[in-house]
Copies of this chain bind each other. A is one copy, B any other.
Amino acid sequence: MSARIHARYFVETPCDLEHAAQVMAGEQSSGTFTRLASETDALRTAHGARVESIQHLEVVDRPSLPMRADLTPTVRHGYQRALVELSWPLENFGPSLLNLVSTVAGNLFELKEFSGLRLLDLELPPAFADAYPGPQFGTAGTRRLSGVELGPLIGTIIKPSVGLTPEQTAEMVEQLIEGGIDFIKDDELQANGPHSPLKARVDAIMPLINAHAERTGKKVMYAFNISGDIDEMRAHHDYVVAAGGTCVMVAINSVGLAGVAQLRRHCQVALHGHRAGWGLYSRSPHIGIGFAAYHKLWRLAGVDHIHVNGLRNKFSEEDDSVIASAQACQAPLFGASAPDYTVMPVFSSGQSAVQVADTHAALGNSDLIYCCGGGIMAHPGGIAGGVASLRQAWEAAAAGIAPEIYSRDHIELAQAMETFR
């Protein structure tokens, strides 16, 4: 019996639901819904997608996504919502990440039968683990590279996003290192622009990081944004490695799956996945790809870190969604039958010591990167005060002590609670 790929969808349709699900299965497997002479029963049995289950949800009066004008007048009984699970034999395309995407997230989004169709989750057979090495460093490797044994990596992002020279960036990095930071990243808008070429940035920054590492034994992890064309990314990766860097960053949606998977096979340092453009997949409940499915693709492609926003963030994402995403990153990808492919979730956007207790309570661990901008820079004690406040907040959380109690004899945490509340 062959291994199968499973995918779960939210759908909404004015058609008979059983028929609509069969249209999805047909479009994404052996043929169109109309059977051709050459589509034998044996072929359909061997290669057809299977409708595994249909779970009815509510009926709504109006289509959530516009349907073709020539189709809508025939709708009489509203738009049925449902959860549909399909499965495919692995033989249809083998353990190929790109052809998986064309199958589970391809033409079906355009089917005229649906006024809503969203990929929610994916379940992949372990054959994919043989084909894709997955995260090279993950949590344990990132801790080893950064020397942070306990608690999250306390991080920040270089701002302004665009416009600083390499020298100005290095000045900021120097202050951050002195302030005790663990992790720094380029903004996703800053890769290799004419005013801050990647190599010049590496040249300005890495001597500071290396000197500090020699002095203290602690090497701050800097995620250099190398997003670019394939040859450019490879050359820039090599430049970062030669300079002693421990992390490169890519804007995964912009680069794409083939590019990230290729970079992973060449990569010698932690691969930081920024999901700029994620709103395209996430903002509508009626079209798109849920994080549960989305992030599995990038874990297979091999990122070590992936962004999840943070509690009470500056964007549109709700707290429940943030926590579910972080939990997904930390769950094994293939069950017990393969390496776990876990990645470190990266919290960011409007974060400070104030959200730490809730974040730890929801997640139950500190295996993450916790990036703050204002939560560090705007702390009354400066950068060192901001970083200290965050460490204290995470210490308190890990020890099960309320921040109000812990802050009585931890002044930086007290200042943060006062400033950012």
Q: Give me the interface of A with B, judged by CB distance under 8 Å.
A: 28-32, 34, 36, 38-39, 43-44, 46-47, 65-69, 91-94, 96-99, 101-103, 105-112, 114, 117, 159-164, 168, 172, 188-195, 227-231, 233, 251, 253-262, 276-289, 309, 314-318, 373-374, 377
Contact = CB atoms under 8 A, between A and B. Distances in A.
Contacts of A105: 277, 280
B109 A277 contact: yes
Contacts of A114: 316
A80 B34 CA distance: 44
Contacts of A97: 229
B284 A228 contact: no
Contacts of A285: 66
27 contacts: A32-B159, A36-B160, A36-B377, A39-B160, A47-B163, A66-B283, A91-B194, A93-B189, A93-B190, A98-B191, A98-B229, A99-B227, A102-B191, A102-B227, A102-B251, A105-B280, A106-B251, A107-B188, A110-B316, A255-B256, A255-B258, A259-B262, A280-B280, A280-B281, A284-B284, A284-B286, A284-B287
B102 A189 contact: yes
B96 A192 contact: yes
A130 to B, nearest CB: 13
A278 B316 contact: no
A32 to B, nearest CB: 7
B256 A160 contact: no
Contact of A99 (B36, B112, B189, B314): B189
A249 B29 CA distance: 18
Stoichiometry, as copies per complex, reads 2
A261 B229 CA distance: 7
A107 B374 CA distance: 18
Main DSSP-derived SS at the A contact region: loop
Contacts of A257: 254-256, 259
B315 A107 contact: yes
B277 A163 contact: no
Nearest to A71: B316
Nearest to A274: B102
A359 B377 CA distance: 59
Nearest to A106: B276
A224 B193 CA distance: 37
Residue with the highest number of chain B CB atoms closer than 10 Å, among A66, A99, A188, A260 = A99
Contacts of A227: 98-99, 102
Contacts of A255: 98, 256-258
A111 B287 contact: no
Contact of A161 (B29, B111, B190, B315): B29
Contacts of A30: 160-163
Contacts of A92: 162-163, 189, 193, 195
Contacts of A68: 316-318
Given A69-B318, A316-B112, A101 B277 contact: yes
Contacts of A163: 30, 39, 43-44, 46-47, 92
Nearest to A93: B193
Given A29-B189, A94-B192, A102-B189, 20 more contacts: A32-B159, A36-B159, A46-B163, A65-B283, A68-B318, A92-B163, A92-B195, A98-B191, A99-B193, A101-B253, A102-B227, A106-B189, A106-B254, A106-B276, A107-B279, A117-B283, A228-B258, A256-B256, A259-B259, A259-B262
- Residue from the set A29, A231, A259 with the largest chain B CB neighbour count within 10 Å: A259
Contacts of A94: 192-194
A142 to B, nearest CB: 23
A235 B44 CA distance: 31
Nearest to A197: B94
